[in-house]
Amino acid sequence: MGDNGRMIASLRGVAEKNVEGVILDVAGVGYGVSVTSEDFGRLADGKEAKLYVHEHIREQGYDLFGFTLLDTKKLFEQLLNVKNVGPKVAMAVLDLGSASVVRGAIAAGDVKLLQSAKGVGKRAAEQIVVELRDKVGLAPGASAEDVVYRPGVNAQDEAVEALVSLGYSPQDAATALQKIDSSLSTEERIKQALKG
């Protein structure tokens, strides 16, 4: 069954949280939906919620994955398209943080961070970076600061990586940063480079 077989794009109903995830009561029908830890924290038990849904249909079962933000659902689907990445691995990666943090890690080639997700081996983490690095781009409205979240990395590289993920070529990014005082914080240097 391809994408055309999928019918549920979003669900709105009363959320009931349990160990398995969330049951969304939509007009008396309870849909069991897997959600990320971040969304689990966002949803209020017994309150109405809207989730953007990805239906995962396979021979052994039929699973629903729900996201409070459409942007997170899009990233989940991008992760699913990576070779050898199934829904469990994609959800584990999304549990690392917000969609912009995960995008930043992929854009920066941070295999170590991706590998720290439950059930994600080195090969899967590398595959995610290889296949998605050029596709993740920052979400609309995300700023350079969202990308820069790891202290202790060589600041020069981090600022370059942030600019690259904003669409600069590595060469242009390095050139833009050359003129900026390297003792400034990474965020400040990125801001100045963007102004320049």
pLDDT tens readout for residues 61-108: 889 999 999 999 999 999 999 988 999 999 999 999 888 889 999 999
Residue spans of the domains in the chain: they are: 3-67, 70-136, 150-195
Q: Which pLDDT score, from 0 to 100, does residue 66 have? A: 96
d(CA 34, CA 18): 10
- Indicate the range of 36-40, 79-83, 132-136, 191-195 predicted with least confidence: 191-195
Bigger pLDDT: 183 or 119? Answer: 119
d(CA 120, CA 88): 9
Query: Is the entire prediction scored with pTM above 0.75?
Result: no
Digit-coded pLDDT (tens) for 142-163: 444 444 443 333 444 677 777 7
CB atoms within 10 A of CB 47: 9
Structure token digits, residue 178: 């050359």
Q: Which pLDDT score, from 0 to 100, does residue 6 have? A: 62
- 150-195 placed in CATH 1.10.8.10: yes
CATH tag, 70-136: 1.10.150.20
CATH architecture entry for 3-67: Beta Barrel (2.40)
